[in-house]
Chain A
Amino acid sequence: MKILETLKHEQAGEEVTFARSSNGVDIALCRTPGFTTASGYFGLRFGSTDMRFRMPSGEVVEVPSGSAHYLEHKLFEGREDKVFDRFGRLGAEFNGGTSFRTTNYHFTTTDHYLDCLDVLVDFVQHPLITEERVDKERGIIEQEVRMYGDNPGFCGTFLLHEALYKAHGIRIEPGGSVEDVRRINAAELQACFDGFYRPRAMRLALTGDFDVDKVLAHLDSRLDAPDGPIAEKLYPQEPALPAEEWLEKPFSVTRPHVWIGWREPTGLADGRARLRQRVLSSLVLDLAFDTSSETHERLYRNGDIDETFQAYWSSDKDWGHVIVSAICDEPKEFVKVIRKAAADFVADGLNKSDFERLKRAAWGGLVSGLQTPSALAGSILNAMLERVQPFATLDMLGEIKFEEVVARAEEMFLPKRSAVAVLIPEAEDA
């Protein structure tokens, strides 16, 4: 185990120690004196969109949608003893999550911290994946996927992804389709594990009122999975413009639910550059459509939008888009009004005092968000997986200039990069 460096972050009021285990896992530890709970977050950059990859042996593997999420479920089964039982005996809260590009496993506890840490690093490093075990989980995962099938917000977002992208993996929800869940097998999940769950790819974020040296010494012998090369991710070629201008789907909703997207043409940069892009984009969206904007106020007073209106930015290394959504009566009219509002916002020019106020509010929200040891550990793991320093967003907010936001606004709402998805009410029998 080797301590690499220490980061003392005044604005966040936190100090983080970075280390690397003998087998190559990067670890960040943040002491939280006076706090009762302690957390561990273990994760890697492997997610639902990683469905095709070249193994270190050269073999190209294709797995069904939902494989990363299925694998997450299987890891929780443990080897001899279920992870539910192991954490349960210790009284810890635990969970996992699979996103488009990452998977993470975490616990929070008030006691037996090192024992919980043992469970975490053990079950993530040493799974037992057999056909019988994979089959057993199928019904549970199918129910989880179906649960989202009744959620218009969830389904509409993925309909928009289908409109925005022609081949990208984010067209499919992280849980996969029911059909794919029904056919995933043990060999495919084992290939995912062997290709990506390597120590050099794993990141571990730990928070609590602990002794850093003691925790590191404890971990060294337990981070014992053999290191090795990681599989190469193979992504389909994605055209620079949306796949469809307008997609509609009948759904059991009372009024139409509408999503408008504006996408980036090509892949975004990595690390800090991508974070900067995200912060800039979020600031532009707040300036344009937050409840503090003139545009929002005007649209709200006119009855063009109501409290269901939302706008947000989503991105990773090879996608980035704005999503504006709302429930409305006339989708075509709504889309026309919002697109014009976006164009007018850019043409009319941005206001510097609005920009300063929004930065201040964003800063307050970020500091407050780093409250509990669990939130802190989650934030630090995210930063490690994004390849940026923890709390880098706070630093970036201070650095960003008004002119950068103006420039970003000018490239965000181009009509040729926009697409629409609508869930249309269908008649109900009941």
Chain B
Amino acid sequence: MAFLQTIPELRSPAEGVELLCLPEPRFKRAQLSLSMDMPLDSGRAARTLLAEVLTQGTDTLPSRLQITRTLQDLYGANCSLYADRSLESHRVTMNLGWVGDRFLPPEELVQPRLLGLARGLLDKPRRGANGSAYDVETLERERSSALKRIRERKDDRSSYAEERFLEQMCEGEPYGLLPWDSEAAIHALTADDLEAARLHLLQDAKITCIAVGPCDVDLVETWLKDWFGRRKAIPAQPEVVFRTPGALREFREELPMEQAQFHYGYRFEQPETHREHEALGLACSILGGGAHGRLFRVVREEKSLAYGIYAMLRSQKGLMTVSAGIDGEAYEEVRDEVEAQLKDLQENGPTEEEIQFALVNHLDRLRALADSGGRLANYHLREHWAGLHRTPAERAKMLQELKPGEIAEAARRFKADSVYLLAPSAKLVKV
């Protein structure tokens, strides 16, 4: 499968702009993602609100209704724009998707029209009356919505628990910052702040674009050249902060809820070789990478303490996290079991069967990348941003060469940092 043995062609159409090309006619839908990275500075509140305001209209399509209708005319194409924290950057992402040409009438030109619309959102926003950068009514409406979203985020207990866990574990690091800054920062924004943020973003963001599926990548390159061709050199992105954990910290918060949310965070030093990267991934997988993982087998299957419990590697930040929805009363038992299972893996290494289970699982996921445009795009973007540039085939080969001792060694890199529990308060809500 040639697809798994290559990395995407890399083009540099403009200063600070990189284009990864993965044209593939098998797919029915083309996907294009444009990631614009900025530091997690005070401008993040403005960029968060800006993304919302920009999707409300352009100079030629001055309402959300007209934008949606245009997308529907393009056979259900999609175009979204949003801002979020990504690693230790603030990322504004534009995602586009459209049906491949082979399913459309020959005279239809969906891709160029969609690219034009997408550029218009960021480049030609709908202006307000009397020289105002943005329409006041739209700005206030979107501000009000953003503030409500911030206040209501604890309604989603699972996401809120994860957010609070990372906020406390990584306090003082950009990774622990909220992507929208604060309610006060959103409150204080003016139309001019948003316009300054837009211009700053277009000039200084590190831009990575990936095009996957039945799309004309030359057209994408031309689009990027036309759009960003006059950019000057962009500032360097800040380095990721790594911290060595001290004594284990335990955080507990309470809300009225049915099920407690458990998170356990470990840190690890960045590995120096690709092989060590793979060993870390396999160690995490053996601990809790799915139904084959130790935690799933012991905490769920043997002890019935959780419906699901999973470990995840946040490689570029040097974090390994374990998450589960549990009975609040079982907190100490689950915490101790996570510690015991990792300790055993660190001291005694994995069994041959565990390695085989985790390995076939990893190899299957790597091969499966070839069938999904979205997964392929995510895989290659992660590799690109991490500077690793490994093909799925290279990773598969390296994984198969790993020895049990290397996996145990990788597991020993995981150092406990924080445990967090969002627990049901005494006042339970029965539904």
Partners in one complex: yes
Residues of A in contact with B (beta carbons under 8 Å apart) = 11, 13, 34-37, 82, 84-85, 87-93, 108-111, 136-141, 143-144, 146-147, 149-152, 155, 249-255, 290-294, 296-297, 300-301, 303, 306-307, 327, 357-358, 360-365, 367-368, 370-373, 426, 428-430
Known: A84-B291, A143-B327. A254 touches B155 (CB 8 A): yes
Known: A143-B306, A364-B76, A429-B425. A253 touches B292 (CB 8 A): no
Q: For residue B253, which residue of chain A has the nearest CB?
A: A430
Q: Does B371 contact A (CB under 8 A)?
A: yes
Q: Does B397 contact A (CB under 8 A)?
A: no
Known: A35-B26, A365-B76. A255 touches B304 (CB 8 A): no
A307 / chain B contacts, CB cutoff of 8 Å: 145
Q: Does B372 contact A (CB under 8 A)?
A: yes
Known: A89-B360, A357-B72. A147 touches B325 (CB 8 A): yes
Q: Please state if B371 and A91 are interface contacts (CB–CB under 8 Å).
A: no
Q: For residue B76, which residue of chain A has the nearest CB?
A: A364
Known: A36-B367, A291-B68. A372 touches B372 (CB 8 A): yes
Interface centre among A139, A150, A152, A155 (most CB of B within 10 A): A150
Known: A146-B258, A360-B75. A253 touches B155 (CB 8 A): yes
Q: Please state if B71 and A361 are interface contacts (CB–CB under 8 Å).
A: yes
Query: Which of A141, A303, A367, A430 is within 8 Å of B256, CB to CB?
Result: A430
Q: Please state if B357 and A143 are interface contacts (CB–CB under 8 Å).
A: no
How many whole Å from B28's CB to the nearest CB in chain A?
Answer: 5
Query: Which of B73, B98, B258, B300 is within 8 Å of A149, CB to CB?
Result: B258
How many whole Å from B246's CB to the nearest CB in chain A?
Answer: 28
Q: In the complex, A15 Cα to B198 Cα: how many Å?
A: 48
Q: Please state if B371 and A251 are interface contacts (CB–CB under 8 Å).
A: no
Q: In the complex, A295 Cα to B372 Cα: how many Å?
A: 36
A303 / chain B contacts, CB cutoff of 8 Å: 141, 144
Q: For residue A307, which residue of chain B has the nearest CB?
A: B145
Q: Which of B6-14, B146-154, B382-390, B400-408 contacts A (4 or more CB under 8 A)?
A: B146-154
Known: A146-B259, A251-B429. A297 touches B75 (CB 8 A): no
Interface centre among A147, A358, A368 (most CB of B within 10 A): A368
Q: For residue A427, which residue of chain B has the nearest CB?
A: B427
Q: Please state if B29 and A358 are interface contacts (CB–CB under 8 Å).
A: no
Q: In the complex, A85 Cα to B63 Cα: how many Å?
A: 53
Query: Which of A13, A141, A306, A370 is within 8 Å of B148, CB to CB?
Result: A306
Chain B residue total in the interface (Cβ 8 A):
70
Query: Which of B144, B158, B373 is within 8 Å of A150, CB to CB?
Result: B158
Query: Which of A37, A137, A301 is within 8 Å of B371, CB to CB?
Result: A37
A-B contact pairs, 13 of them (CB 8 A): A34-B26, A35-B371, A37-B370, A88-B291, A91-B364, A146-B258, A146-B325, A149-B258, A150-B257, A291-B65, A301-B141, A306-B145, A368-B97
Residues of B in contact with A (beta carbons under 8 Å apart) = 1, 26-29, 63-65, 68-69, 71-77, 97-99, 102-103, 137, 141, 144-145, 148, 151-152, 154-158, 253-259, 291-292, 300-301, 304-307, 325-327, 356-357, 360-361, 363-365, 367-368, 370-373, 425-427, 429, 431
Q: In the complex, A136 Cα to B73 Cα: how many Å?
A: 54
Q: In the complex, A108 Cα to B291 Cα: how many Å?
A: 15
Known: A139-B304, A291-B65. A147 touches B259 (CB 8 A): yes
Q: In the complex, A358 Cα to B69 Cα: how many Å?
A: 9
A362 / chain B contacts, CB cutoff of 8 Å: 76
Q: Please state if B77 and A90 are interface contacts (CB–CB under 8 Å).
A: no
- Other contacts beyond A37-B367, A303-B141: 16, CB < 8 A: A34-B26, A84-B301, A149-B258, A249-B431, A252-B257, A254-B152, A254-B154, A291-B65, A361-B73, A363-B76, A364-B76, A364-B77, A367-B28, A368-B29, A429-B425, A429-B426
Q: Please state if B64 and A291 are interface contacts (CB–CB under 8 Å).
A: yes
Query: Which of A254, A294, A306, A360 is within 8 Å of B72, CB to CB?
Result: A360
A251 / chain B contacts, CB cutoff of 8 Å: 429, 431
Q: Please state if B368 and A429 are interface contacts (CB–CB under 8 Å).
A: no
A82 / chain B contacts, CB cutoff of 8 Å: 301
Q: Please state if B73 and A357 are interface contacts (CB–CB under 8 Å).
A: yes
Q: Please state if A36 and B370 are interface contacts (CB–CB under 8 Å).
A: yes
How many whole Å from A374's CB to the nearest CB in chain B?
Answer: 8
A110 / chain B contacts, CB cutoff of 8 Å: 363-364, 367-368
Q: Please state if A90 and B360 are interface contacts (CB–CB under 8 Å).
A: yes
Q: Please state if B256 and A252 are interface contacts (CB–CB under 8 Å).
A: yes
How many whole Å from B373's CB to the nearest CB in chain A?
Answer: 8
Q: In the complex, A143 Cα to B328 Cα: how many Å?
A: 11
B356 / chain A contacts, CB cutoff of 8 Å: 89
How many whole Å from B420's CB to the nearest CB in chain A?
Answer: 15
B425 / chain A contacts, CB cutoff of 8 Å: 428-430
Q: Please state if B429 and A255 are interface contacts (CB–CB under 8 Å).
A: no
Q: In the complex, A253 Cα to B152 Cα: how many Å?
A: 7
Q: In the complex, A41 Cα to B368 Cα: how many Å?
A: 17
B144 / chain A contacts, CB cutoff of 8 Å: 303
A85 / chain B contacts, CB cutoff of 8 Å: 357
Q: Please state if B307 and A296 are interface contacts (CB–CB under 8 Å).
A: no
B254 / chain A contacts, CB cutoff of 8 Å: 429-430
Q: In the complex, A35 Cα to B372 Cα: how many Å?
A: 10
